[in-house]
Structure 1
Amino acid sequence: MDRLEAFKSIAAQAGRGELTFPTNIDATLKLQRALCDPELHADSAARLVQAEPLLAARTVAIANSAAYKRSGNDVTHVRAAVQRVGVRTLNALAAAVIVRQLDSKITEPRLRAKADQLWKHSAHVAALSQVIARRVTCIDPETAMFAGIVHEVGGFYLLSRAAEFPGLLDGEPEEWIEYGEMAIGRGVLAKLGVPAAVMQAIEAMWGGMRALPPETLGDTLMLANDLAPVDSPLHVRPGATSRRSAATVDFIVGEGTLAAILEESSEEVSSLTAALF
């Protein structure tokens, strides 16, 4: 099977919902669905989080990040962390655990390096999306962070399957966009139960042009993607500016500017990114 046939085969399977996931993802998906229950009490959420050590550690780390630590005091246990960040943030963190579980079986050194870079990129995009949503576009920051975490989940799935198809990623990045990104991405996002609004924002990023100043969740995600200091190892978003050019993007936001907001929020972005790592 040549490379393009392999792309098409993986994409077709994803489109039919025939996805090969590590077994531990099922338990985390069940946990994520439980966290989505609108009647879930904070104490119950804390017990669920404590059952997943990686999620528990991430929750405490996020709660102690500059973006959430308003009182200046660190929390040292899961229950206090859950109360501080809220259930919506827990859903985003559960998604982060799922993405990391998805790439856990990638062992071939070249693929492992790509997966590590892709996660660094995703963590930066998630942190930037949260801050841009809160300070610039005034949309829900937890949804924006969630979108940033999962926006490359199709790429993680592709990397997790690449060892089965030697040479799959040897060609031009555009082939991943043309033959795999949308079909594989949609399939994995659907499997994870990603809300329609988030899926639409991610699809807009795949081939869209962002508006300046940004207004929507899709614009927020695209701007964060362009500003991220670590690129995706799979491709550069169509229509994206170079990182050097992106760093010069600026516009008026209220009585300030984007550049000023990003400078003021640099500690928040750094601490969120570190907590997601």
Structure 2
Amino acid sequence: MTTKTKIKLLFGILITLLIIYYSFKTLSHFDLKTTLHANINWFLVFVSVIITLYSNYVRGLSYTLGIDPNINRLTALQVVVIGHAANMILPLHIGDGLRFAFFPSNYSALQRTKLVMVPAIADSVAIIVLSMLAVPFSGFKDPSIVSVLWILFFSCVALSLLLVACVLFIPRIRNYVRSYLTVGLLNMMLWVLFSYVLLLLATWLGLAACGFGFAASFPLSLAVFAVTNLISFIPSSPGAIGLFEYGVIVGLAGLGINQGEALLAGLVLHLILYAALLPQGLVLYLIALHGKYGEAVKKILRH
């Protein structure tokens, strides 16, 4: 393990301890007994877990049916899921760096970097697009979050216009971008967007499982999806422990839900993510260790 990685782990552990401390301090006045004995529809929780699992498979299709059809579906799924699962137990989004190890062994470092960065940008665009629905359709009134959403939207528009200008007037950038502006890139964007629509559906069912009702849970899910995914951009504790729950509370508070009910929803939604990502990530990791890319993964882990 390199010194840089050790420093990141140490820094991440410190952030995690601080977040957990302040989370418990902030939530200490809540009646957790009521929360623990709440009437939760576990069948809907199970369905939400299954949809979350399937969303990862769809996210993997952004490679095989998108920007790199040479990657088989198992490898693509490993790249997606193992990174997500590692982020649930490691701080500072360190799991994102592990994705490099699971591409085909003959891929160069530059090629791996591109195949990590381009879908990551697509993730950001999909999150911003879907989060914008929280403003007109959820009835979300929290001024600070609404302002952030609009700022992100107009920033995305401004960056898009800047990119277009660079492509039009800078030949080197035009040649570089031309290699990506393909049908494969469009397919990748569509599959990534579809995967986040499935996550939004999983959030909707998770809130319905907490007793909010199907009709009422849809606008709530838009607000929760927007806030929690915006928070996910912040490299922090493993699985955004504490921050995720805080995001759910902020999102639901803007729609008139009391903090006790919002905390229950946050815990259930976080449980769904862990129940989906950790077992799936572990299975795929074991397959990778004993499969075609096992030696490459072991070599990277040793160094």
TM-score, normalised to structure 1, is 0.27
Q: Which has the larger radius of gyration?
A: 2
Q: Which has the higher contact order (CA 8 A, sep 6+)?
A: 2
